[in-house]
Amino acid sequence: MRIIRSDSHDVYFNLATEQYLLHEQTEDILMLWQSESAVVCGKHQNACAEANYAFCKENNIHIARRLSGGGTVFHDLGNVNFTFVKALSEGMERAVDYKRYLEPIREVLSNLGIQTTYSERDDLLLNGLKISGNAQHIYQKGLKGLHHGTLLYDSDLASLNTAIHSEGAYEGKSVPSNRSEVTNIREWTDLGATSLFIGKLCHQLESLYGVTSKPLTDIEKSRCQQISDEKFSQESWILGYSPRYIHERSFLKDGERLHLTMMVHQDEIKNCVITDDQKQVVYPSESEQLIGRALRLITLKQTFTEFSEKELLNFF
């Protein structure tokens, strides 16, 4: 087992690193990492339906999409992420098995005085409250599994609750998140600052596996950055990978309430209609110009020149 402690707090870089380790490395790996504030949705989710897009943009919270399925999670520097990449040596019959990855985490947490239990969905609970959401991705070509999870240690739970609750109405086939009541580990077991907690966690894992953690090499970092630049930081992946959906929302524009209905499919706006309270169509020319284009803030700014950025964020 190779243990990597990432020194990057860039969510896109770290998600790209997961793909690099899964697709381009052969050894079993455990990576510990953190990221600055981010909402990370599952591969098959509608990012706009999961994240409060306006709140995230206004508060410099990144929106990202990962390789695995499952629900949306919130990251900040009070949260610690762990990622296992392992060969499925026993074959596909045990490909999806959360406990095989979570038991080592539970063991080292126990050694730190943190006693956890499982939820019905195999999330980790502390005193009945969720501290860890988990997801998996199977790389069938390479017969490898990726399992990753969060550990809420000292996160900003107020921002978490706002950032992962969208204010629009979305209809589509994306996988919705199951929300659970969460808590921070530090509220129950104070091991000092998050940097100290991750250091103690890393030390316990090194003892468990009998290895010393090492950072990525410069060559590996360069490759991971390339994957981040080409895929994980691109809006075509973050927004464009969302399944087909219809978005409905009401919002105020210069004191007047407007009603938006928009259909998006394969990263392309298929239909857009804005009406007022009298059900009269308004901004028909601008709405027509969006048809066939990707949903991007820069496109909206160029088209709806009378709208402020805050007003345009309601389109997401």
Helix (H, G, I), strand (E, B) or coil at 298: helix
Residue 91 pLDDT: 61
In the chain, which residues have pLDDT < 50? Answer: none
How far apart are alpha carbons 37 and 59 in whole angstroms?
9
Using only C-alpha atoms, what is the Rg of the chain? Answer: 21
How far apart are alpha carbons 248 and 263 in whole angstroms?
9
**Domains of the chain by start residue, with CATH:** 2-238 (3.30.930.10), 245-315 (3.30.390)
Own/partner long-range contacts of 98-101 (Cβ < 8 Å, ≥24 apart): 98/122, 98/134, 98/136, 98/147, 101/134, 101/147, 101/149
pTM, entire model = 0.94
Place of tokens 């464009």: 240
Residue 94 pLDDT: 67
Residue 143 pLDDT: 86
